[in-house]
Amino acid sequence: MFVLVNLKAYPCDGPAVARAVREVSEESGVRMAVAPQAAQLETIHDTGAETWAQHVSPVEQGSHTGSTLAEAVADAGAVGTLINHSERRLRLADIDGALSAADRADLETVVCANNPAQVGAAAALAPDAVAVEPPELIGGDVSVSTADPGVVKDAVDAATAVDEDVSVFCGAGVSTGSDVAAAGELGAEGVLLASGVAKADDPEAVLWDLVSEI
């Protein structure tokens, strides 16, 4: 199980969250990472936590002002990147281009998608993983395991039918240890979290709860 904490553009104490992630990951043995804004990658990487980017641009080195170059992200310490997050949707051709960019820079990749059909489409582009983010679960307090367990199972089936080597992550609806356990039983190999950890009064306590039933 891989727990990936997306800091989005929250007004949170990123380094404090990252230190909690590093500590709980080391002590629990569960893989965890933090995905900050591009401008904060170095600061987060300096905490020793595994660091991911939130996005990379579908471009090669060159005249691309204001882009997020995969090589720059890797130089700043990222070892992986989200692509096509629901808050940063990309054109199909650009998901393909961003995956190529990530490959060039040796970044691990998780492509986000809305539903099982889109999960299958994303899997056809051969990322390391696809995260299913049902729109009705995004940003809410509803648990995927009680509200919509079928979507994770269907996403796993859709991805596997296209490419058995692509993992499926649960991209929404996870906030507790039993959610993580349920996601794992449904076939997910990772979970994405955001405000539940990033805005918590005690991120370390939340992280310990998340890994409590793995």
126 binds a second copy (CB under 8 A): yes
CA distances from 124 to 25, 63, 83, 158 (A): 31, 29, 14, 10
For residues 130 to 159, the per-residue mask of contacts with a second copy, x marking binding by CB under 8 A and - elsewhere, is ---------x------------------x-
Rounded Cα–Cα distance for residues 91 and 188 (Å): 25
51 binds a second copy (CB under 8 A): no
CA distances from 51 to 14, 23, 77, 176 (A): 11, 14, 7, 22
Helix, strand or coil for residue 4?
A: strand
Tokens 């949170």 belong to: 12
**CB 70, min distance to a second copy, A:** 10
Q: Which of 23, 50, 133, 204 is catalytic?
A: 133
42 binds a second copy (CB under 8 A): yes
Rounded Cα–Cα distance for residues 211 and 112 (Å): 23
Binding-site residues: 6-8, 138, 173, 194-195
Number of residues that bind a second copy (CB under 8 A): 67
Burial class (CB within 10 angstroms; exposed 0-12, middle 13-18, buried 19+) of 62: exposed
Q: Is-catalytic flag, 133?
A: yes
Answer for which of 1, 23, 28, 72 binds a second copy (CB under 8 A) is 72
22 binds a second copy (CB under 8 A): no
Tokens 């060159």 belong to: 62
Q: Which is nearer to a second copy, 87 or 204 (CB)?
A: 87
Catalytic residue IDs: 85, 133
> Residues interacting with a second copy, by CB under 8 A?
6, 8-11, 35-43, 53-55, 57, 59-69, 71-73, 75-76, 78, 82, 84-96, 113-115, 117-118, 120-126, 139, 158, 161-162, 194-195
